[in-house]
């Protein structure tokens, strides 16, 4: 296996990149930070990343998709697109935890935190790049403390008494590195919503 298209729509960043598995070298990557533009930007970003890499869809060996945790709409756009690409090309689609794509590049004891809205956060804890707790969703005050750093959101670092930092989002290379075993067949894609969607079916009146 050589060339992989990695995409993620679990955060405000709409990410698509072409990565060579050997060495995790990124050949092309497009990122648009806009929480309202997942549906509009994902395909153009994927096409742009392929163009930057100088390859076409037919050269891809696999798709990697971040399965969250994240908002319902964003995850649905990314995962449906990944499944459609994989089906059309006849190649495997590997799902990974989107937080792992950030945490895998960290050292020490680190929290990866992203915005879950409703005054809550998605989080997972990593030790030297390996996830040891989470993913989960809760209020910031209920997140287990003690991490040396918080990666993922500058607005949440202060909640954990840590310096404000630039936002970090899942990268194409991080998504590919988060695949645990390339030799194993991919598991079914399961979105990590971690809670029920806001919209609920109405109950018919008798």
Task: Specify the DSSP element, H or E, that contains 30.
Answer: strand 25-33
**CA dist., res. 49 & res. 27, Å (int):** 8
SS3 110: strand
64 to 4, 56, 115, 126, 185: CA distances (angstroms): 7, 16, 22, 21, 13
Q: What is the DSSP string of 56-103?
A: -GGG--EEEEE--S--HHHHHHHHHHHHHHHHHHT--EEEE-TTHHHH
- Expressed in angstroms, the distance from the first to the final Cα of the chain is 57
| Angle, alpha carbons 20-24-30 (nearest 5°) | 75
**CA dist., res. 111 & res. 4, Å (int):** 27
What was the pLDDT predicted at 206? 46
Residue intervals of the chain classified under CATH 3.30.420.40 are 3-98+170-177
CATH of domain 100-160: 3.30.420
CATH of 3-98+170-177, one of 3.40.50.10490, 3.30.465.10, 3.30.420.40, 3.40.50.300: 3.30.420.40
Per-residue pLDDT of the chain (206 residues; tens, 9 = 90+): 799 999 999 999 999 999 999 999 999 999 999 989 999 999 999 999 999 999 999 999 999 999 999 999 999 999 999 999 999 999 999 999 999 999 998 999 999 999 898 889 999 999 999 999 999 999 988 998 777 777 777 777 777 777 777 788 999 999 999 999 999 999 999 999 997 655 455 555 44
* DSSP tag of 198: S
Q: What residues contact 101, with CB distance under 8 A and at least 6 apart?
A: 8, 66, 170, 171, 174, 175, 177, 178
Phi, psi of 172, deg, nearest 5: -60, -45
How long, in residues, is the chain?
A: 206
**69 preceded by a cis bond (ω within 30 of 0):** yes
């Amino acid at each position: 296996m050589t060339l992989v298209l990695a995409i993620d729509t679990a955060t405000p960043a709409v990410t698509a990149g072409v990565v060579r598995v050997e060495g995790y070298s990124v050949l092309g990557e497009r990122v648009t930070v806009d929480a309202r533009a997942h549906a509009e930007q994902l395909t153009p970003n994927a096409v742009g990343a392929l163009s930057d890499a100088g390859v076409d869809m037919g050269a891809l060996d696999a798709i990697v998709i971040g399965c969250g945790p994240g908002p319902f709409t964003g995850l649905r756009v990314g995962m449906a697109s990944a499944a459609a690409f994989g089906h059309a090309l006849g190649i495997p689609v590997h799902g990974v935890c989107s937080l792992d794509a950030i945490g895998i590049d960290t050292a020490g004891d680190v929290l990866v935190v992203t915005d879950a809205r409703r005054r809550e956060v998605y989080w997972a804890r990593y030790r030297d790049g390996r996830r040891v707790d989470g993913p989960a969703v809760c209020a910031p005050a209920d997140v287990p403390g003690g991490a040396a750093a918080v990666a993922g959101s500058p607005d949440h670092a202060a909640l954990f008494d840590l310096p404000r930092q630039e936002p970090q989002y899942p990268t194409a290379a991080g998504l590919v590195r988060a695949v645990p075993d390339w030799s194993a067949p991919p598991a079914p894609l399961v979105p990590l919503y971690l809670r029920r969607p806001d919209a609920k079916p109405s109950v018919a009146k008798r």
